[in-house]
Amino acid sequence: MLHRSHHHHSPGKKKKRSDKPPKLSHSKTKDWIRKETLEEKDKPVSAYESLYTCLDQGFCCGSSHTVKQPMTLMVSAKEEKSFINLAKGITREQLGKLVDVASAASFGRGAQEVFDPNYCSTLQLPSKYCSLSFHPSGTGILEEIARVFGTKKSWLIAQQGKINIYRTGAFFKPHLEVPKSTNMIGSLVVCFPCGHEGGQLVVYQGNTKQIFDFGLNSSYQGNKIQWAAFFCDCPHEILPVTSGEMLTVTYNLYVVEPPAPLATVDSFKTKLQHHIGDPTFLSKGGTLLFKCRHAYSTDALAVTDPCKALKGSDALLYSVTTRLGLRTRFQPFFHTTKGDSERYFTAKRFRAFKDPVHCESEEDFFRTFFQAEEIDPNHIWCSNKASQDILSDIKAQCGNQPTTLHFYEAVLLVTIPHFDERQEMDAIALAEEDAFRMGLNL
C-alpha cells in the first residue's frame, strides 16, 4: 500500500547497503515515550534549510490522562449483559468474558482481507456484542492532537473504531491506517488500565520512530488512561506483549474543515518574508522545492484543492506561501536509482495499480503512466531529496483493512518571482494573510 518506485522492478545495480546497524539518537519526552532518529549521512547542502526545519510540527503525540467521565464497556454474551467499569481496572474474570466474544482480527493485504497470525495475532471485539461509553471529547486529548496536527479542536472529530485485546505474545507488524475518506487525517489509540508488559506502539516517519511503551504505566492508577495519535500515512506496529493483556480502542480522526496550520505559522512566515524582501535572495527568481513530510493516498492526490488534502507541516507551508501570493504546486514525487546515479521526477497525473506493472526502466514507467517530468536541476532543494527510512527494508503493503489505495511521496514547488516583481507584489496578499491569522485567533 505504501508505494515505492522499486516495487515495480529493479533496473541496474542496487546500491550496496552497509552491514553496520544504523546509529540511532535517543530523546525522552515522558518516561514511557521516547523518540529515536536515524543519523543522516547526507546533510542538506541547500542554504535554505532553515525554511524547512522551522516547519516540523511532529507526526504523532501521546500522553496519559485522568478521565472523569464514565468508562463502561458493555458486553453481551449468552443472552446476558455485563458491564465492566474500565476506570477500576479489569479483573481476570472480566477479561475472560471479553475473550469469549472476541475473534481473530483480520487486516488488509492490498485489496484482500486476510487472517494471518504470523503478521497480526490480536483479538477484536465485535461491535454487535460490545459497546463503550468512553469518548475522548471533553478529556483534553483532542485539544492536544489538534495542536500537533495543525488544526482546531472544533474541526476535529473522533469516531470509534475497533476494540482490540492483545494477549500475551500478541502483536501486529507494521501497517497503515487506511483512510476511510479524504478528510480522515489520523488515528487515536487509547490504552485502558490493564496490567501488562511489552505491547509498545511504534510509529514511523522517514528516519524517525516514536515509541509509546504503554506497559510501563498499565496497572490500575485510578481513572488514568494512556493514548497516542498519529497521521494516517505513518506506518506503525504493536510489538509483542510479553506478559499480561493489553486492551485498546482505536478512533478514526477526521477534520470537518481544511487542516489550517496554527502552531509555527509565525516562524516560517517571518523567515520567508525576510528572504522575499532580500534583493540577494534569488534576485532573478527561481523555484524552491520542499519534499513533503507526509505521504498521500491516491484519493488525496485527486483532490483539486490541496488545502483539503495536505496535512501538518505540509499544510502550513502551502497556506503561508499561497497567502503571500507565491505560486505553490503540490505534486507526487518519485526518484530512481541506477548505480550511483539518482534522478528525481514530479508527476502531472497519478494512478494506483492493483497488480505490478513491468516496464523497461523506472523512468519509462514514470513517463508513461504518470506523465512524469524530471525536476529541473536549477530548482533549489530546501530539504533532503530522499532521507534514510527506518522501514526501507519493510514492504508496508498491509493496512488495518483491505484497500486499493496507494500512498505516494509528494513535493511542494514554490515559485519565487524576480526581485523587481516581488517589490510590486500586491500588498493585499499580506493583508489577507494577516486577516487569516486573526480569524484563527493566533
Provide the residue range defining the domain that includes 52: 5-13+47-57+261-439
Say whether both 118 and 75 belong to one domain: yes
What pLDDT, in 10s, does the model give residues 140-168?
A: 999 999 988 888 888 899 999 999 999 99
What pLDDT, in 10s, does the model give residues 390-401?
A: 444 334 466 777
**pLDDT class for 97, splitting at 50, 70, 90?**
confident
Asked if residue 34 belongs to a domain, the reply is no
SS3 of residue 22 by DSSP: coil
How many domains in the chain?
2
Say whether both 316 and 377 belong to one domain: yes
Say whether both 198 and 283 belong to one domain: no
Comparing 13-17, 36-40, 313-317, the range with the smallest average pLDDT is 13-17
The string of DSSP codes covering 163-220 is: EEEE-TT--EEEEB---SSTTEEEEEEEE-S--EEE--EEEEETTEEEEE-GGGG-S-
**pLDDT class for 7, splitting at 50, 70, 90?**
very low
**pLDDT class for 25, splitting at 50, 70, 90?**
very low
Comparing 151-155, 220-224, 270-274, 307-311, the range with the smallest average pLDDT is 220-224
Q: Which three cell numbers stand for residue 114?
A: 486476510
Give the global pTM. 0.80
What pLDDT, in 10s, does the model give residues 182-207?
A: 888 999 999 998 888 999 999 998 88
Say whether both 290 and 347 belong to one domain: yes
Say whether both 322 and 369 belong to one domain: yes
Residues 6 or more apart whose Cβ sits within 8 Å of residue 146? 152, 153, 155, 156
Domain boundary pick from 212, 229, 255: 255
Domain boundary pick from 238, 255, 272: 255
Say whether both 293 and 332 belong to one domain: yes
Say whether both 213 and 268 belong to one domain: no
Q: Which three cell numbers stand for residue 5?
A: 518506485
Say whether both 215 and 270 belong to one domain: no
As a whole number of angstroms, the distance between CA 287 and CA 166 comes to 50
As a whole number of angstroms, the distance between CA 212 and CA 117 comes to 23
Domain boundary pick from 229, 255, 281: 255
Say whether both 195 and 326 belong to one domain: no
